[in-house]
Chain A
Amino acid sequence: MRKKVRHQEDAADVNVTPLLDIVFIMLIFFIVTATFVYEDGFSPNLPQNSDNEDSIPPPSLLLTVMENGLVRIDDADEVDPRSVKPRAGEFFAANPTGVVIVSAMPNSEAGVAMTVLDEARGADVAKWNQITFTLANR
């Protein structure tokens, strides 16, 4: 009887120290190498080639980002990038299916283009996929 109890105790006493060592080393490795990258951001829509070239193009609002940091609306008036929102809102209200094209001059600053995209997106949350970001070919 006594021997039996002792035998059981031996079997339960597996040496877990090497296992613990390895697990700890793996744990420390993963803690050290873990990099948590948190970013805020958004995905600008790039123009894509549509297959139906002969269909009627939707009404569009062209916002050209200029080198001087201003925005030219429909090749007419130049405004500050922070005042694009009401114009875009107006356009979306008048043309629910219309598209806004943010066309950036190659030498204009990215920050200004992002501001313009942000303003256009802020005008109507439901129409984010109707805003395109492209490069002016001039």
Chain B
Amino acid sequence: MAGRLTRKPDDDEDVNVTPLLDIVFIMLIFFIVTSTFIKEPGVDILRPEINTGAKLKQINILVAVTADDEIWIDKKKVTTAQVKEVVKELLRETPKGQAVIRVDSKAKNGLLVEVLKQVKAAGVKQVNVATEEL
């Protein structure tokens, strides 16, 4: 009687956690590998709509150019002259990948080309313009 009573809770405690641990570890490794700490510009823009865009992979730097001709990086407004330095700073943290300029359809081309040049001068190999499928 006494033996049976002590045995029953013992069985309950001995849940086999090995499969659970396996799955949790696999999920953990997946999230560690896929997590990229991208700093969002923090402003909403209306992307230009085009037909020949492609899916971009491995994005590490995001720069936004708004319709009011403001430049935003990492939730901060920056001036045209600062873009190169700020992008260089971000590049030190995440060296791999490509930059994406989120430009509003209503933004001025003069500013867009200037930002493209600055980001390229900061050492980013490929600079893209974010678009939307038409």
Contact = CB atoms under 8 A, between A and B. Distances in A.
Interface of A: 16, 19-20, 23-24, 26-27, 30-31, 33-44, 46, 65, 104-111, 113-115, 117-118, 121-122, 125, 133-135
Interface string B93-106: 00000101011111
A135 B27 contact: no
Interface of B: 17, 20-21, 24-25, 27-28, 31-32, 34-38, 40, 47-56, 59, 62, 65, 98, 100, 102-110, 112-113, 116-117, 120, 126-134
Most interface-central of A23, A43, A65, A121 (chain B CB within 10 A) = A43
25 contacts: A16-B21, A30-B28, A30-B32, A33-B37, A35-B35, A35-B36, A38-B55, A40-B131, A41-B53, A41-B100, A41-B131, A42-B52, A46-B116, A46-B117, A106-B108, A106-B110, A107-B109, A110-B107, A110-B108, A110-B109, A111-B105, A113-B112, A114-B103, A114-B131, A134-B113
Given A20-B21, A108-B109, A39 B48 contact: no
A69 B47 CA distance: 17
A37 B117 CA distance: 23
Contacts, number: 145
Nearest to B33: A30
